[in-house]
Amino acid sequence: MKYIGITDHARLRVKQRTVLSTDDVMSLLYSSSYVNLGSKPGIQKAHLLIYSNIENAWFVVVRDVLNGDVITFLTEDYHVNLFGKISDVDKKEAYEKATRHSSQSNGGESKNINISLSFVDCYGAVKTKKIKSFPYDGKNISKDAFLLSKDFKTLVKQVKSGVESGEVGDVFIGTNYEPVYLKVAYSKSDYVIIDI
């Protein structure tokens, strides 16, 4: 799986335009719960239609196809004004995928500890990317014990040493970045920030 980053601009647009959290949006993308509306020829940006069950509304995530980063977040009306009408077939498919995703997310299956790295890239832009997941069900290891575990300590070393290679966790984020912090998320609302 290629992990997806999100720019500060996109994070701000999510906050301004929906009650969904950034994590909610990213979860829909990670699980492929979207409809690819395509892009204009010669422009390396994919338009991905998602549905918010909470708001009963559709949104379009604009993603850079070269590096996978989410670069902005549009309301349906805004997208229609700029790029034209979204078909009812695409809207129905996005609705069905989001509904299926929501029912699976609320199940009792085992979850992951998801670790994201916030960093300043070589161009000075602040970005955040999910870099690693560890199995977690709340029983196999306590939260405090995980932060002291060999796996986590190895990942922190990798973050610090990955500046030259660009390899961090399970992803390549580019060379010469400056790590800012790690977000260790046990769930959407239960996480800890670790300064690097």
- Over residues 15-44, the pLDDT tens digits come to 899 888 888 898 898 888 999 998 877 788
Q: Which of 34-48, 63-77, 89-103, 130-144 is predicted with the least confidence, judged by mean pLDDT? A: 130-144
Token output for 8: 């500060």
Looking at per-residue confidence, does 50 or 180 come out higher? 50
pLDDT in tens, 135-180: 776 655 677 788 888 888 888 888 887 766 667 766 667 777 788 8
109 has pLDDT over 50: no
**Which residue's structure tokens are 């239609």?**
49
Burial label for 160, CB within 10 Å (0-12, 13-18, 19+), is: exposed
Q: Which of 75-84, 104-113, 127-136 has the highest mean pLDDT?
A: 75-84
pLDDT band with cut points at 50, 70 and 90 for residue 63: very high
Q: For position 108, what pLDDT does the model report?
A: 45
> Which residues have CB under 8 Å from 73's CB, separation 6+?
10, 13, 14, 17, 18, 25, 59, 60, 61, 62
Residue 3 to residue 1: CA distance in whole angstroms: 6
For helices 22-30 and 88-105, angle between their N-to-C axes, nearest 10 degrees:
100
pLDDT band with cut points at 50, 70 and 90 for residue 2: very low
Q: What is the DSSP letter of 148?
A: T
Cβ(28)–Cβ(21) below 8 Å: no
Burial label for 11, CB within 10 Å (0-12, 13-18, 19+), is: middle
Question: What are the structural domain ranges in the chain?
Answer: 5-105, 111-195
